[in-house]
């Protein structure tokens, strides 16, 4: 029986993965084309470097292709390649900066804790004082200043809009750990933006 042409499938991820695992290179190319922009954006959010992000993109799909037979299809293909991309991006950070930061696989205290919440408020509308480009630059710099583990979770949840469960699965950590890191990331951003604007008005996260 002649296989259904790729163009006739639309984007059916399970079918494309199955065909790619059977040696259909066109199916794998379709998966790459579907997700390459998202993976590049994720890599940029973690590495904050275009050259590194391009390397991460290439390495992610190369490793995905090399280990495609090992993908068990117990999760979404996108979740699987996100984990590959995150690992590659964090390796880039370690090599480039020599940073010493907590591994995503290292246990994290996720118990309830009292955290001082500094709510950023400004007088008037920030858009009256800053252009959209300036606001975006300020936000990008604030995100860049986060610790890599926190920035990664923030990128997956609040930028790529993965669910908490999908983020946990992609990173190989628990749901409580995702929630804890996301909370800390948001609070750190709120504090940094508070210092940046230093005036009273609207909530920071209206502009995130």
76-85 per-position pLDDT tens digit:
899 999 999 9
pLDDT of residue 101: 47
What's the domain count of the chain? Answer: 2
Kindly report the CATH number assigned to the domain that includes residue 32. 1.10.1740.10
Residue 72 in domain: yes
My answer on whether 130 and 91 are in the same domain is: no
Residue 182 in domain: yes
Please, what is the Cα angle at 82 between 177 and 94, to 5 degrees? 75
Spatial separation of the C-alpha atoms in residues 122 and 130, rounded to whole Å: 12
CA distances from 102 to 90, 108, 205 (A): 11, 9, 26
pTM, to two decimals: 0.69
93-109 per-position pLDDT tens digit:
888 765 444 444 444 34
Residue 159 in domain: yes
Residue 115 in domain: no
My answer on whether 132 and 86 are in the same domain is: no
Q: Which domain holds residue 87?
A: 10-97
Residue 65 in domain: yes
Q: What is the mean pLDDT of residues 161-171?
A: 90
Residue 90 in domain: yes
């Amino acid at each position: 029986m002649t296989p259904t042409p790729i163009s006739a499938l639309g984007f059916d991820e399970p079918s494309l993965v199955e065909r790619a695992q059977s040696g259909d290179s066109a199916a794998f190319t379709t998966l790459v084309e579907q997700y390459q922009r998202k993976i590049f954006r994720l890599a940029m959010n973690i590495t904050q470097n275009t050259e590194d992000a391009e390397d991460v993109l290439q390495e992610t799909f190369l490793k995905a292709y090399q280990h495609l037979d090992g993908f068990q299809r117990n999760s979404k293909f996108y979740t699987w390649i996100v984990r590959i991309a995150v690992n590659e991006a964090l390796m880039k950070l370690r090599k480039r900066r020599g940073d010493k930061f907590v591994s995503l696989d290292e246990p994290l205290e996720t118990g309830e804790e009292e955290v001082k919440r500094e709510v950023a408020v400004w007088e008037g509308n920030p858009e009256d004082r800053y252009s959209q480009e300036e606001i975006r630059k300020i936000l990008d710099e604030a995100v860049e200043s986060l610790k890599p583990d926190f920035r990664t979770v923030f990128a997956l949840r609040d930028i790529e809009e993965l669910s908490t469960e999908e983020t946990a699965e992609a990173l190989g950590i628990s749901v409580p750990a995702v929630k804890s890191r996301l909370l800390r990331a948001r609070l750190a951003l709120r504090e940094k933006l508070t210092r940046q604007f230093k005036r009273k008005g609207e909530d920071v996260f209206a502009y995130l």
